[in-house]
Every structure is written in C-alpha cells, then in structure tokens.
C-alpha cells in the first residue's frame, strides 16, 4: 500500500475513482496490528485503490475529515465519501472486510 506524499495527491485520488484511505502512524500499536493482514484485505477488494495517510504528517487532512482515532478508514468514490470506519479502537481483519463489503457498489 503506497503512502500519500502530498495534499494534492490526496485530493486527486479522492476525486477520481474508488479509493480507501487508511489513516495510521508509526507509533500506533493498533496500526501495526493490522499490517500483517492488510495485503489480503487489499487483494480481496481490488475494486478499490488503497492509500496510507500518515496521521502525523497530514494532521490537517485528519482534522478536515474528523479523523481523531487511528487506524481509521475512509472510502471515496469520485470525490464523494461513501463510508467511514473511524475510531480509536483496534480493528480486526473481519471488521475491516465487513466495512468494505457494506460500501455502495456504485
């Protein structure tokens, strides 16, 4: 999963296609917990582009989107937010897949 490098890159990905942004930080133990199974999640949901956003590097994007807990997931389809799984709680592979499975298909 590639990491967002700029606000411009975030806005372009948000506005074009189906993207799920994963908000994380290096120091976050719950973020490290999801790393081993995220490749399987990404493989299962190929209709989405997954991008990592470092919470510390892009705190302004987090504030703009009301992301105060990590790891968190926000899905966009052509600029429209279609779902969010945002909390400070640890997330399991099953919970992440359930979140993505319930997103609108169009």
| CATH at 49 | 3.40.30.10
Domain count, the chain: 1
pLDDT tens profile 12-54? 999 999 999 999 999 999 999 999 999 999 999 999 999 999 9
Domain membership flag for residue 12: yes
Rounded to whole angstroms, the Cα distance separating 61 from 58 reads 5
CA 19 vs. chain centroid, Å, equals: 8
Say what the pTM is.
0.94
Domain membership flag for residue 90: yes
* Active site (catalytic) residues: 28, 31
């Amino acid at each position: 999963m590639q990491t967002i490098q700029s606000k411009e890159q975030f806005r372009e990905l948000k506005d074009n296609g189906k993207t799920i942004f994963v908000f994380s930080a290096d120091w976050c133990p719950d973020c490290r917990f999801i790393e081993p199974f995220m490749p399987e999640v990404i493989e299962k949901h190929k209709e989405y582009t997954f991008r990592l956003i470092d919470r510390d590097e892009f705190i302004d994007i987090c504030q703009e989107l009301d992301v105060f807990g990590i790891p968190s997931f926000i899905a966009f389809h052509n600029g429209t937010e279609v779902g969010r799984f945002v909390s400070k709680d640890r997330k399991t592979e099953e919970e992440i897949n359930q979140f993505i499975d319930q997103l609108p298909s169009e």
